[in-house]
A and B are shown apart, each in its own frame.
Chain A
Amino acid sequence: MLSYSRLVKVEATLHGDRKVYSVSAFNRGVGSWLSRLPTLWVEGEITELRRQEGWQSVFFTLKDLEDGSCLPASMPRVTFDALRLDVADGDKVHVYGRPELYEARGVFRLRALSLEPLGLGAALVRIERLKKALAAEGLFAAERKRPLPLLPGRIGLLTGNEAAAKRDFLTAVAARFPAARVLVAETLVQGVKAPGAIVGTLGDLSAEPEVDVVVLARGGGSFEDLLPFSDERVVRAVAACQVPVVSAVGHEQDTPLCDLAADARASTPTAAARLVVPDERELRADLTRLRTALGRDTRRTLERARQSLQADAQRLRGAPALLLERKRARLDTLAGRLRALSPRATLERGYAIVRTESGIVRSAKVAAPGTRIDVELAEGALGARVEETRE
């Protein structure tokens, strides 16, 4: 940057003994001098950030954190966007750049080549902002959560190359369900390239045949170490993943945004294993219970059917006797009625039947005195002659 080839020769005109420079020449000269200064880091707070799609550069003002002194700054828009920092007014940053003069306007400013948010405060603010925006989009909504498979075909395990998280997960899986199949994918989980690597690996894992659940396992780390798991690209990829995702990132107290977008959250890789595979003994016991119930309920239905069949058979066998009984009863009734009509009953009440040779006597006229008559009583009979006839 200190190369003299960048120095321009500035022409002056002479007015008597006075050397006079045009504005353009002056600016060019100063600009040339400024460009000899080194590229360096400047710390300040971002204000008046202006970014528009059509513009080549992004403009902002850096404000001194102590006395409020201001420094206009610009940054190529492509570079700014590529950082994906989501910086906004009020963020404290370190800007890497060099001074330059915007010659057309004679404005001095800082030409920024890179920019880093300063400290955890800014990152926290950024995450909080992203969290609000994604929540408003419905990315963390409970309705979006998908159930995990009861018995996963293959488990995709996305992890860094640290041994602990992977070992804890695999140990817990083997203890609960020795027959589980796990497809392990190690990837970058820290640093600027981590979000891209995680997104890519997540896509690869979920596209593998039979993988029907993916676990993100990352042991505890510093706040910065876990930042990739709050990166917008990662959070969106987790939400959009074609199979359910279990997030086991960091410790209990850390809540990276991918935890909120995941279908289930586990505080440790061991807890994730408990969510992802069933306990084989419990599963077998459960199946045995169902089978026992199946047999018992089927037997019960059979028993009910048998009992109802027996009742039917009994009714069938009893039917002829019943019919006979009914007929006998009807016969008894008839006999009673017949008995009531018989003359015997009348005779028993004290009446008598009188007969001549020509039949039953119903009128005195048919029995002249001296006629022999036969008197039938309830018990026995009398033979007699008519003494007198009264008409």
Chain B
Amino acid sequence: MSTELGFEQARAELERIVAELESGRADLEEAVRLWERGEELYRLCVGKLDAAEGKIEELGRRAEAVKPEG
């Protein structure tokens, strides 16, 4: 499930978790659960950065394919 999560959503959720913990509203059990989830999200984000490989590709030239206008 979490593998489908994009970098952006993962980072946003991590930020929400930190804010929730910071507020001190979470009880012990909830705090531990949030921490585990936060670590998972952190690893996901860093993993995405580590896994990304720079690549430059070319899309087939379009100019020839252009249909002449009316």
Which residue numbers of A lie inside 8 Å of B, CB to CB? Answer: 78, 81-82, 149-151, 156, 170, 174, 178-188, 192-193, 196-197, 200-201, 204-205, 208, 280, 283-284, 286-287, 290-291, 293-295, 297-298, 300-302, 304-305
Subset of 15 A-B contacts with CB under 8 Å: A150-B7, A150-B8, A151-B48, A170-B56, A181-B55, A182-B56, A183-B58, A185-B62, A188-B63, A197-B66, A201-B62, A293-B18, A298-B32, A298-B38, A302-B31
Q: Judge whether B62 and A204 touch: CB under 8 Å.
A: yes
Smallest beta-carbon distance B19→chain A, Å: 9
Q: Judge whether A197 and B63 touch: CB under 8 Å.
A: yes
Q: Judge whether B49 and A298 touch: CB under 8 Å.
A: no
Distance A304 CA – B69 CA, assembled complex (angstroms) = 73
Within 13-67 of B, Cβ neighbours of A (below 8 Å) are at 14-15, 17-18, 21-22, 24, 26-28, 31-32, 34-35, 38-39, 42, 45-46, 48-49, 52-59, 61-63, 65-67
On chain B, the residues within 8 Å of A156 by CB distance are 59
Closest 7 interchain pairs by CB? A179-B52, A297-B21, A82-B70, A301-B31, A185-B59, A298-B35, A294-B38
Residue of A nearest to B51 (CB): A179
Q: Judge whether B15 and A200 touch: CB under 8 Å.
A: no
Distance A304 CA – B27 CA, assembled complex (angstroms) = 10
Smallest beta-carbon distance A301→chain B, Å: 4
Distance A342 CA – B14 CA, assembled complex (angstroms) = 78
Smallest beta-carbon distance A71→chain B, Å: 26
Interface size on B, residues (CB 8 A): 42
On chain B, the residues within 8 Å of A78 by CB distance are 70
On chain B, the residues within 8 Å of A183 by CB distance are 57-59
On chain B, the residues within 8 Å of A174 by CB distance are 54
Smallest beta-carbon distance A288→chain B, Å: 9
With A150-B11, A170-B56 known as contacts, the answer to whether A301 contacts B28 (CB < 8 A) is yes
Tell me the interface secondary structure of chain A in the complex.
helix
On chain A, the residues within 8 Å of B56 by CB distance are 170, 181-182, 184
CB within 8 A of A290: which of B15, B49, B57? B15
Distance A346 CA – B70 CA, assembled complex (angstroms) = 132
Q: Judge whether B61 and A187 touch: CB under 8 Å.
A: yes
Residue of B nearest to A200 (CB): B62
CB within 8 A of A287: which of B22, B24, B28, B42? B42
Smallest beta-carbon distance B40→chain A, Å: 11
With A178-B54, A280-B49 known as contacts, the answer to whether A196 contacts B28 (CB < 8 A) is no
Q: A82-B70, A151-B6, A284-B46 are in contact. List 13 more A-B contacts (CB 8 A).
A: A81-B70, A150-B11, A183-B57, A183-B59, A186-B62, A290-B11, A294-B17, A294-B39, A295-B35, A297-B22, A301-B24, A304-B24, A305-B28
Residue of A nearest to B35 (CB): A298
Q: Judge whether A291 and B42 touch: CB under 8 Å.
A: yes
Smallest beta-carbon distance B17→chain A, Å: 7
On chain A, the residues within 8 Å of B32 by CB distance are 298, 302
Q: Judge whether B70 and A293 touch: CB under 8 Å.
A: no
Residue of B nearest to A149 (CB): B8
On chain B, the residues within 8 Å of A295 by CB distance are 35
Q: Judge whether A184 and B42 touch: CB under 8 Å.
A: no
On chain A, the residues within 8 Å of B69 by CB distance are 82, 192-193, 196
Smallest beta-carbon distance B22→chain A, Å: 5
Q: Judge whether A181 and B54 touch: CB under 8 Å.
A: yes
Q: Judge whether B21 and A301 touch: CB under 8 Å.
A: yes
Smallest beta-carbon distance A200→chain B, Å: 6
CB within 8 A of A294: which of B18, B54, B57? B18
